[in-house]
């Protein structure tokens, strides 16, 4: 009777110990569950955002957010790579853009971007990129182009650009001064602060990882890193 009791106690102790060890192993695995490969490493190629920030991506989607501004030459250089990736990216990836709002120049560019969005003319964003880049080159690298030194002059310059591409001046002005555009500008400002954006282009993946061209090692490498991070998070959603 005593031997049976001792054996039962021993079995219970072993089971408890095994359970504790298994639980510890699961905790350890979850704690180290970061995108990691022979090529891509945290704190080298990307930064882990802590705490992770929520996104408005639908269930099952992974959001990729680009912080940019239209007069940024580095954003312009990345644009062809992003454009090609957007055409072939997996269906589970949601791509969004957020213009930075550091100074008057960026605010003016952001207003143009959101005005084109409000008008349903996203197709003109690439045209604006190319036009501004061409003007910058003509001005010797000066980024302060397609803007004026007063709000009225900025509106006039950007309105003229839109008119050249089929947008009625009145429609552009109404969207430019609309409540919706003001809301988007405020939201962009808040997101830039939340993610502590200090340079462009900066990429945020799933509200969890921050990276850029320098960390990835080049424009094409950044696209490959984005692909890796989005696939990882899609495969690990709900893990742990």
Q: Return the CATH number at 228.
A: 3.40.30.10
Distance CA 77, CA 69 (A): 12
> Is 209 a member of any domain?
yes
The answer to whether 91 and 84 are in contact (CB under 8 A) is no
Per-residue pLDDT of the chain (240 residues; tens, 9 = 90+): 334 344 444 334 434 333 333 333 322 233 347 888 889 999 999 999 999 999 999 999 999 999 999 999 999 999 999 999 999 999 999 999 999 999 999 999 999 999 999 999 999 999 999 999 999 999 998 999 999 999 999 999 999 999 999 999 999 999 999 999 999 999 999 999 999 999 999 999 999 999 999 999 999 999 999 999 999 999 987 543
Note whether 12 and 84 are same-domain residues.
no
Distance CA 199, CA 68 (A): 8
> Is 102 a member of any domain?
yes
The whole-number pLDDT of residue 237 equals 73
The whole-number pLDDT of residue 37 equals 87
Note whether 121 and 202 are same-domain residues.
yes
The backbone torsions φ and ψ at residue 96, rounded to the nearest 5 degrees and listed phi first, read -135, 155
**pTM above threshold 0.85:** no
The whole-number pLDDT of residue 238 equals 53
Distance CA 10, CA 12 (A): 5
> Is 42 a member of any domain?
no
Note whether 84 and 182 are same-domain residues.
yes
Tokens of 46: 């990307």
Note whether 11 and 119 are same-domain residues.
no
Tokens of 28: 């350890």
> Is 128 a member of any domain?
yes
> Is 208 a member of any domain?
yes
The whole-number pLDDT of residue 197 equals 97
Note whether 175 and 91 are same-domain residues.
yes
Note whether 27 and 52 are same-domain residues.
no
Distance CA 230, CA 220 (A): 16
Instruction: Give every CB contact of residue 142 below 8 A, 6+ residues apart in sequence.
Output: 136
Q: Which domain holds residue 27?
A: 1-32
Residue with tokens 């893990």: 239
How many distinct structural domains can be found in the chain?
2
> Is 123 a member of any domain?
yes
Distance CA 198, CA 224 (A): 23
């Amino acid at each position: 009777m005593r031997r049976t009791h001792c054996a039962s106690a021993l079995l219970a102790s072993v089971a408890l110990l095994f359970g504790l060890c298994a639980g510890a192993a699961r905790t350890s695995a979850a704690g180290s569950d970061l995108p990691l490969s022979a090529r891509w490493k945290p704190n080298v190629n990307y930064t882990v955002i802590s705490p992770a920030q929520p996104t408005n991506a639908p269930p099952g989607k992974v959001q990729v957010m680009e912080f940019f501004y239209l007069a940024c030459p580095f954003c312009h250089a990345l644009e062809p790579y992003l454009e090609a990736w957007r055409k072939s990216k997996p269906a589970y990836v949601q791509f969004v853009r957020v213009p930075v709002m550091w100074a008057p120049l960026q605010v003016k560019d952001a207003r143009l971007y959101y005005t084109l969005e409000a008008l349903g003319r996203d197709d003109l964003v690439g045209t604006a990129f190319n036009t501004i880049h061409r003007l910058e080159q003509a001005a010797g690298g000066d980024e302060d182009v397609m803007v004026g030194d007063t709000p009225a002059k900025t509106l006039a310059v950007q309105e003229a650009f839109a008119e050249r591409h089929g947008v009625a001046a009145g429609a552009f002005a109404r969207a430019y001064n609309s409540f919706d555009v003001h809301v988007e500008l405020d939201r962009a400002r808040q997101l830039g602060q939340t993610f502590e954006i200090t340079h462009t282009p900066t990429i945020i993946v799933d509200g969890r990882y921050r990276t850029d061209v320098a960390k990835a090692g080049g424009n094409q490498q950044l696209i490959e890193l984005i692909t890796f991070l989005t696939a990882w998070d899609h495969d690990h959603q709900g893990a742990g």
